Structure 1
């Protein structure tokens, strides 16, 4: 792997303000990609009267679902998204939702499912020379990272292109490595079914608008929750900036060389922008924007030991970075409301985990460990921070944190699904 692509870590904390300052120096060319063209009709203006009840009957009802107890803050008044959800990433409790199961165009947030499906396929050092056919089906107007035909890239390079620049070209190269788009789409649909993400139908692996391609805020949250179990997924989703291989060139003497260029994450809660700062505790995950979907976003953030997932789909308000602003308000509400609201539903476990928890162990009781959930909470100290110049590393570590390894592996009987090695921020004297 080229030295420029290696992760460079340091232990000195960097403040969110410093990150924002770095972001302001980024060139305009690294702005989030504009919406792609759409070959399909616009979605309906109102949600169905009844939707899926996966995760609880209230999640299938249209409108806002929340149970405010004594002392719980009211929801933000200025939310315009067609659909959103706030959930505890580890317990799976849904704190509040709005049209959670409304099937809408997902845009590039669908790349979370793509990554969760394909990431285990290859070591990061695997190299692939791009053929002309690899890029043949990339949609017009797609967001691109800048992959060139006949150039060789590592899998690590390609995943950085997927997560940071939402590169449809990187998605199609990885799909070609996986046996083609059709096979990849089939595997993504199979994995969605395994995760019980039953609102989702994949047609294009990159999230590009296509007839009948839909997902929901609920399903996108399931994809993020599953993906965050994977170390590589967490690294890529939280990387702020990195070097990407350029095109091979020859000098006048016939000598070849290959440079690189910087790419920056288009997740504005992670990288910041002119009208929005880096969200405290943010650690990923994925944004999207197409004609049908509008702006979509799923984020994960931690505060005081609690990890929340928020998904926002298609705000009606079309202000710059509105999807991130509404996400930030929902994060703020969720951290204030946690423990003060009664959950209105849950993020369900994968089907295989449900089957495993139903099987009796040697003692004859379901779920193993005498039918009780087993969870270790031994902290692993010394979380490294990412180098600001490359951005490769877990973004929350940039503000300095502690790695807390919660053992237990699979989804447990009490529905907790701990996030291993998630960097948790803490105040320093």
Structure 2
């Protein structure tokens, strides 16, 4: 076959495949408007009820208050004993949101915000880099903060510091890494910029460690989106799945003629679904991610688990029940529901790809879904503005432009699928000390 005909046929096949995938997701695609611009959240505590109008990033239904789920024959009923103000159950690989409640309600995130801190700062320093801690590194750690036990005058590797962040939720470790990164203000700015890139538009960072601060908010949707991004980094997966580790302690000066000795102590992950507790067993297939608890936020948690080859993300924010470990118990119930419903329930929205993935799809030479390793089932387009505006034009040209815009966005989503396939850690190796 002559080259021009091959090219034309290939283009037709790509367009046909893209249109077929769009048709399969049409009910959701029509429900996803252009994401609204990110605005500064209120500086007051949220009301007892979710706002009537919330962000619609990822789907119109995700902006509605209350529980959103498409129950049908064969789909298990949602657990009734879930009291969280906000939660999301999503397929980590396809990005489909299987069910949600008040997904975009802006709430205090507590230490789950450390996922965004890690996703932003972790790539900047090699894990073997050593840092000598000086008093200014720890000068502005908030009173009552969770600490891993970093000491002034001691030397730590970057790996030590990240284990302190993920296992003990150490605000002292966050502040040291932030000072290494140019300071608290610079790190906060970078975190907000990264949130914009991820389209986590409910999120506003004031303190990089998640410490309660006026105007510091996120949402169950955003935390799920952030976790999904972080989990594509190998070190992020390793740290958030580590159950226990040995952490450097203080150096004790030796006696006359003896060398100084650096002590150490064990730290354990405070994620109870990963480490277990007296009233919470280790959840089958759990592989991270991050928990939090502050006065403003209550208990928050985002977890990732794999079962039967399917990977789910669940975020739970502020359960109404005050029972011990309630946030983990409710997360486990939602995981159980998600694994039972996956493949049966029609999603109510999607986790959108980063802005750069969407923008790159519009460049010449964008890969077709097959070439990029995508499946074409990424769900609705996160930014259908091109197609939507074109569809309002008069005549067939408007329709053609709308179709072309939808195809380009789909190809961008297909390209992003390449990065969705990340191996979860072998947790057996993480059960002992490291």
TM-score bin (small chain): 0.7 to 0.9
In structure 2, the residue corresponding to 1:422 is in which secondary structure? Answer: coil
Q: CA RMSD in A?
A: 1.8
Q: Does 1:309 align with 2:297?
A: no
What does residue range 64-143 of structure 1 map to in structure 2 within 5 Å? 64-143=67-146
Query: Cα offset for 1:330?
Result: 0.1
Q: In structure 2, what is the equivalent of residue 266 of structure 1? A: 270
Deviation digits for residues 142-186 of structure 1 (CA, Å, limit 9, x no counterpart): 000000001000000000000000000000000000010000000
For structure 2, which runs of at least 5 residues remain unmatched after alignment?
Answer: 1-42, 376-411, 429-434
Q: What is the match of residue 239 of structure 2?
A: 236
Given that 1:83 and 1:99 are in contact with CA atoms closer than 8 Å, whether structure 2 keeps it comes out as: yes
Whole-Å Cα distance in 1 between the matches of residues 44 and 359 of structure 2?
A: 39
CA distance, structure 2, for counterparts of residue 98 and residue 416 of structure 1: 29
**Larger % of strand: which?**
1
* 2: CA distance, partners of 1:289 / 1:107: 6
What TM-score, normalized to structure 2?
0.78
CA drift at 1:356: 1.3
Please tell me whether residue 350 in structure 1 is matched to residue 354 in structure 2.
Answer: yes
TM-score (norm 1): 0.79
Q: What residue number does 1:163 align with?
A: 166
C-alpha separation between the residues in 1 aligned to 2:417 and 2:64? 23
| Structure 1 position 217, deviation (Å) | 0.2
Which residue of 202, 210, 213 maps to 1:210? 213
Q: Deviations over 1:296-355 (max 9, x none)?
A: 000000000000000000000000000000000000000000011110000000000011
2:297 match:
293
Query: Aligned residue for 1:422?
Result: 424
For 2:194, the equivalent position in structure 1 comes to: 191
Gaps of 5+ in 1: 1-39, 362-366, 378-409
What is the match of residue 341 of structure 2?
Answer: 337
TM alignment of 1:42-53, pairs within 5 A? 42-53=45-56
SS of the residue corresponding to residue 236 of structure 1 reads helix
Residue aligning to 1:60: 63
| 373 and 83 in structure 1: CA distance in 2 versus 1, 3 angstrom threshold | farther
Partner SS, residue 341 of structure 1 = coil
Q: 1:414 to 1:227 in 2, by over 3 A?
A: closer
In 2, the alpha carbon distance for the partners of 1:152 and 1:76 equals 48
**Which structure: greater helix fraction?**
2
Which structure is larger by alpha-carbon Rg, 1 or 2?
A: 2
**How is 1:350-369 mapped onto 2 (pairs within 5 angstroms)?**
350-361=354-365, 367-369=366-368
Contact 2:237 2:425 in 1 (8 A): no
Judged with a 3 Å threshold, the aligned counterparts in structure 2 of structure 1 residues 425 and 208 are, in CA distance, closer, same or farther, namely: closer
